[in-house]
Amino acid sequence: MLTCKDFLAELSDFLDEKTDAELRAKLERHIAECPNCWVICDTTRKTISVYKGMKCYPIPDEVHSRLLAAVERKMEAKKAAGKA
């Protein structure tokens, strides 16, 4: 019989579907009988889902331009060193 602590230790693998069938069945039985663990499982699943669609920081144009210029300088230097 799994305890709530046992369930919590396996929660990530359970949500990522990385547990074997036997353990998965035990974990599913536990949340069917334990309302607290069911809520934790459901809200953790939603936490992961809400972050999945999170967009990147927009890179300011001047940062992108500086990065590009620095890389181009490096490329030129490498090319010049290759010719030497």
Partner 1 sequence: MATESVPIAAPFELSPEAKEELELVNRAREGDATAFSTLLNRYEGKIFRLAMNITQNREDAEDVLQEAFLKAYEHLDQFQGNSKFYTWIVRIAVNQALMKLRKRKTDRSVSLDEQIDTGEDTVVREIASWDPDPEQQFSQDELHTILQEAVDELAPIYRAVFVLRDVDGLSTEETAEALGLSIPAVKSRLLRARLQLREKLTRFFKRKGDNAFAYM
Point out which residues bind partner 1 (CB under 8 A).
4-5, 8-9, 11-13, 15-16, 36, 39-40, 42-44, 46-48, 50-52, 54-59, 63-64, 66-68, 70-72, 74-75, 78-79, 82-84
Measured from the CB atom, is 15 or 26 closer to partner 1? 15
Grouping H, G, I as helix, E, B as strand and the rest as coil, residue 82 is: helix
Are 8 and 40 spatial neighbours (Cβ–Cβ below 8 Å)? yes
Taking the complex as a whole, how short is the minimal distance between the CB of residue 24 and partner 1, in angstroms? Answer: 17
Surface-to-core class of residue 64, CB atoms within 10 Å of its CB (0-12 exposed, 13-18 middle, 19+ buried) = exposed
Are 68 and 75 spatial neighbours (Cβ–Cβ below 8 Å)? no
Measured from the CB atom, is 29 or 79 closer to partner 1? 79
